[in-house]
Amino acid sequence: MIFKEKLKSKSKIFLDGGNGSEIAKLGGDMSPAFAALSTINSPDIVVKVHENFINAGCDIITANTFATNRHNLDCLNRADETDKFIVKSVELAKKATINTGKENKIAIAGSLSNFFPLKENEFVPNPKFVPSFKQEEKNYKEAAKLLKESGVDILVLEMLLDIDHSKILLNAALETGLPVWVGLSCCISKFDNKVVGRNFRAEKEKSLIYDENKYKEQPKFLPEDKIIPLEEIIKSLTNIGGDVYGIMHSWFNDSNEGLKIVKENWNGPIMFYPEIHKFDTSTHEAIITTTENEFATSLEELIDDQIQIVGGCCGVNENHLKRLIENLSD
């Protein structure tokens, strides 16, 4: 595959942008399981998002499986359709490569994350659908196996924030034998200025706009809501394995410090794809914080020879990436 050749030659590899945020923007079916339902209810929109990123010049597109595993689908009463959702997600990505005439020229990544289904209208994991660690491991292994059998080229682990859940996910992915790229999310803690696994409670720049009087619980990514130094997370995971490490789903300022810690603890290729939107819980709309030029310039300032894979997360559309790709090509 082209990404393997580019990794060896130290060339830049362009990943896609925010699939979930783009699916939502185009009217895809969203739910407490993020964009998972769109694969079945809004397949044309999912294909369109993939096509847009391919036409922008991306080398890799990511199947819409970020929140697609058994415990996330359980909140939709569709856990028994896990195989259907994952197989269909990969089929839609493949369809986009065919529609754009890029079949066998674009790599397809299968996304796996530690995302848990949310309470209705709240950014808090719904305790009714949080599995035991043993069941979580089983669910990740099932999803990873299905992604491999569906024909993805690599597995991208996204939004890893801690050690316990992240280790379970990484081990499940490595069992497939596919290349595994590890995406860590971080923030600079407002408590002590240390770089930690991203945490709503600790981040200085709030990424959610919400009425604090309306919601009883403060938003959190993981059920335990631990604040863990990023260096500890990286050391724990690199001892297990992985082919690429990097920072994703994090603000530019936080990413800058996070990338320094990755480089101090990882000598292999690095990926970097930041997010650029705030989510307004009252309107359920995203506020994009960075223009196309600002995105391209900010990312260019941070990437170097070790950072080979670049793209975007929430809020990053095909125009942001097209500008970045044009700038780097020039």
First CA to last CA across the chain, in angstroms? Answer: 24
Predicted confidence at residue 202, as pLDDT, reads 97
Instruction: Give CA 143 to chain center in angstroms.
Output: 15
- Model confidence, pTM: 0.97
Q: How many domains does the chain have?
A: 1
Predicted confidence at residue 214, as pLDDT, reads 81
> pLDDT below 70 — which residues of the chain?
1-2
Q: Kindly report the CATH number assigned to the domain that includes residue 260.
A: 3.20.20.330
165 contact partners, CB below 8 Å, separation of at least 6: 114, 136, 222
**Residue 227 lies in domain:** 2-329
Which phi-psi region, left, alpha or beta, contains residue 130 (left: φ > 0; alpha: ψ -120 to 50)? Answer: beta
Q: Taking Cα atoms as reference points, which of 118, 94, 100, 131 lies closest to residue 35?
A: 118
